[in-house]
Amino acid sequence: MNIQMEWYRVFYWTAKLGSLTKAAEQLHITQPAVSHTLKQLEGALGGALFFRSAKGVTLTAEGEVLYSYVEQAMQMLDIGEKKMAEMQNLLLGEIHIGASDTLCKHYLLPCLEQFHQQYPDIRVHVTNRTTPETITLLKEGKIDFGIVNLPAEDPKIDFRPSAPQQDCLVGHPKYAELARQPLPLAELHQYPLLLLEPGGSTRRFLDSYAGAHGTTLHPEFELGSLDLLVQFAQSGFGLTFITRQFITEELASGKLVEIPLTPPIPLRHIGIATLKNVPLSAASKRFIGFLS
């Protein structure tokens, strides 16, 4: 049956108010328009829905049955509209974010604290994965957006640069003499080196940096997280590359010393990854505003 949703809306208000005139006023249309719509609906359904009298209209037995279902449908639509309004006003909703452990700790967590204070009713789910894994989750629709290390590329994803990151070479204080003047990158092979395991964006960035200057990095230890790199470096196992903003306390306390390199390591950025041509929820948009 070719029945329009608006016909049911006219039927609902007519039955609820018991009057064509009152239904017309409620719907901001004319009484003849209400009458015509009801005739169309009755014709499509093949039976009378109202008894008409001078006092108004009364539902037939068939009309009573239909009204019981239409009333539920209208109530559900009303609830849906209210929930939509709540989500737009950030009184309700969920956000699913993907990010690495390190970016969660040093970048995402402070923003989460601020956001939660202002919008306590928005539920936030964080999935901890590497940048390549986060991009995969995003393309699978399992997260709304990702926090990733740049550079990164994917034809289906927009990458928006956010906070800058400056990687630096650091080591135990026993390497302090190396900090007196820039260490040529070509001489780095003379010292034990600690790196992240292959496959992540940070390792690719560092390998690319070295390769661009005719050098290959040969680590003695390959570890699974930046926190482990920091711990191993503090214990004197060797030199490592760390984002300077993530080790300000260790540098200030002297637990680690920064060793300048020549040529210097290029600046890079944290990025916000979103699917191209896929709109974000109001909550996700507002949260990204906290990150920008």
CATH number at residue 57: 1.10.10.10
Q: What is the bridge-based pairing of β-strands 183-184 and 261-262?
A: parallel
Q: What is the pLDDT of residue 36?
A: 95
In this structure, are 102 and 153 located in the same domain? yes
**Mean per-residue pLDDT for 70-85?**
84
What is the number of domains present in the chain? 3
Are residue 276 and residue 141 in the same domain, yes or no?
yes
Quote the domain boundaries for residue 251: 167-266
Long-range contacts of 202-208 (CB under 8 A, 24+ apart): 202/131, 202/149, 202/167, 202/226, 202/241, 205/149, 205/151, 205/167, 205/268, 206/167, 206/241, 206/265
Handedness of CA 4, 50, 81, 127 (dihedral sign): negative
Which of 88, 114, 137 lies at the terminal end of a domain, its last residue? 88
Where residue 1 falls among pLDDT bands split at 50, 70, 90?
A: low
How many other C-beta atoms are found inside a 10 Å radius of the C-beta of residue 199?
11
Q: Are residues 36 and 159 in the same domain?
A: no
Q: In this structure, which amino acid lies at residue 52?
A: R
Q: How far is CA 231 from CA 9, 170, 183, 257, in A?
A: 66, 12, 23, 13
Residues 201, 102: Cα–Cα separation, whole Å: 13
114 in the same domain as 175 = no
Residues 99/134, Cβ–Cβ less than 8 Å: yes
pLDDT, tens digit, 9 for 90 and up, residues 185-216: 999 999 999 999 998 889 999 999 999 999 99
Nearest Cα neighbor of 204 from 244, 252, 148, 161 is 148
State phi, psi for 28 to the nearest 5 degrees.
60, 45
Picking from 69, 88, 107, the residue at the C-terminal end of a domain is: 88
The predicted model scores a pTM of 0.68
Is 250 found in the same domain as 239? yes
Helix (H, G, I), strand (E, B) or coil at 264: coil
Same-domain pairing of 211 and 274? no
pLDDT at residue 219 is higher than 80: yes
pLDDT of residue 291: 86
Which pLDDT value is given to residue 292?
Answer: 65
Collapsing DSSP to helix, strand or coil, 59 comes out as strand
**One domain for residues 256 and 112:** no
Amino acid type, 278: V
Asked if 33 and 154 sit in the same domain, the reply is: no
Mean pLDDT of all residues in 8-27: 94
Domain end (from 88, 113, 131)? 88
Whether residue 43 is found in the same domain as residue 99:
no
Q: Are residues 146 and 286 in the same domain?
A: yes
pLDDT at 31 over 70: yes
pLDDT at 258: 97
Residue 50 has what pLDDT? 95
Pair (156, 285) in one structural domain: yes
Indicate whether 187 and 256 sit together in one domain.
yes
Q: What is the CATH number of the domain that holds 136?
A: 3.40.190.10
pLDDT digits (tens, 9 = 90+) for 220-229: 999 988 999 9
Biggest CA–CA distance in the chain, Å, is: 102
Residues 34-58 have pLDDT tens digits of: 999 999 999 999 999 999 888 889 9
